[in-house]
Every structure is written in structure tokens, then in C-alpha cells.
Amino acid sequence: MDSNIEMIQVSSSNIAEVGYDDEREIVYVRFLNNTLYNYKGVPKIEFEGLLSAPSVGSYLHRNFKNVYPYERIE
């Protein structure tokens, strides 16, 4: 992960923080168990939706999984 990516803490029972790479359209998600995943090809509006969602975990599950390719990177 690029060290210039700002990670934003979120209030979630499963997710610690999220970040977005504008240039490459990659969302980074660090879970409370300290694993880090990236989701590729995500439009900025989708990341903004994640940040403002009442439930970050539910939004991630509903709008990211099985929609965007992802991988565990840590």
C-alpha cells in the first residue's frame, strides 16, 4: 500500500479504518483483526458512500464484495 494513502478511522464492529487511492481507484479496508484488503476499480462516489453509511460493514458487504475484485494484502 502506498504510504501516502490517508486511512480514516470508522465506527464499526468489524472495520478499523478505510482509505482511498484516487489515482488508481483502490479502496483499502483494515479490519479490527488487523488484516488489510484492497478493492480495485472502485469509483470515488462508492468510497464516499462507504464513509457515510450508517453501517460501514453492511455497506461493504452489500456494495463491494462480489462487485469489485479484492485481495488480502496484509
The rounded distance, in Å, linking the Cα atoms of 19 and 40 is: 12
pLDDT digits (tens, 9 = 90+) for 8-66: 999 999 999 999 999 999 999 999 999 999 999 999 999 999 999 999 999 999 999 99
pLDDT of residue 4: 87
Specify the pLDDT at position 3: 80
Show me where the domains of the chain are located: 7-72
Residue 1 has pLDDT above 90, yes or no: no
- Contact between 48 and 7 (Cβ < 8 Å): no
Q: What is the pLDDT of residue 14?
A: 95
Give this prediction's pTM.
0.94
